[in-house]
């Protein structure tokens, strides 16, 4: 996995399984710690938005990034529950890799 598949990430569509990157770098990051490294699926394509990681430092936020609504099973995130509850997070394309399974 990696660069080649990432190049296709702009074409993610509802139903696609994705894994959130586990990155740990300085800056204004809007991907919560608890979801990094977790696998879920695309629920909705929200559209393109200016990149907050750039806007936070007074830059122009370009190029725009595709924002996705990504759904996860609660049981996959915390390992504690066995019900069908879900957790949904708005995540930018550059934080997502197609899931390997």
Partner 1 sequence: MARGHHDVGGLPGAGPIDQTEHQLSDWEILADAVNQALGAKGIKRTDEMRRAREEMDSAAYRDMTYYERWIASIEAILIEKNILTKEEIDRKLREFDAKWGEP
Partner 2 sequence: MTTATTEHGHDHPKHELSHCARRIYAIRDLLLEKSVITEKDIRCQIEYQEARSPANGAKLVARAWVDPAFKERFMADPKAVCAEMGIDASAINEFVVLENTERVRHMVVCTLCSCYPRPILGRPPDWYKSFNYRQRSVVDPRGVMREFGLDLPDDVEVRVHDSTADMRYLVLPVRPAGTEGWSEADLAKLVTRDSMIGVMDPLPAISE
At residue 75, the 3 state secondary structure works out as helix
Q: Which residue of 20, 89, 93, 96 would you call a contact of partner 2, by CB under 8 A?
A: 89
Distance CA 26, CA 8 (A): 26
Q: Which helix (H) or strand (E) holds 72?
A: strand 65-73
56 contact, one of partner 2, partner 1, none, CB 5-8 Å limit per kind: partner 1
Residues between 4 and 23 with contacts to partner 2, criterion CB under 8 A: none
Instruction: Say which entry of partner 2, partner 1, none residue 88 contacts (CB below 5 to 8 A, set by partner kind).
Output: partner 2
* CA distance to 38, 53, 99, per residue, from 17 (Å): 11, 24, 5
Residues binding partner 2: number (CB under 8 A): 24
Which CB sits closer to partner 1, 52 or 98?
A: 52
In the complex with partner 1, the residue whose CB is nearer, 36 or 44, is 36
Helix (H) or strand (E) holding 89: strand 86-92
């Amino acid at each position: 996995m990696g660069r080649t598949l990432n190049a296709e990430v702009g074409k993610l569509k509802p139903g696609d399984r994705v894994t959130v990157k586990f990155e740990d770098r300085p800056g204004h990051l809007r991907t919560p710690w608890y979801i990094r490294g977790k696998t879920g699926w695309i629920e909705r394509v929200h559209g393109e938005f200016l990149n907050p990681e750039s806007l936070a430092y007074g830059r122009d936020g370009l190029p725009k990034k595709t924002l996705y609504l990504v759904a996860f099973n609660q049981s996959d995130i915390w390992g504690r529950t066995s019900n069908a509850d879900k957790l949904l997070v708005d995540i930018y394309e550059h934080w997502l890799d197609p899931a390997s399974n």
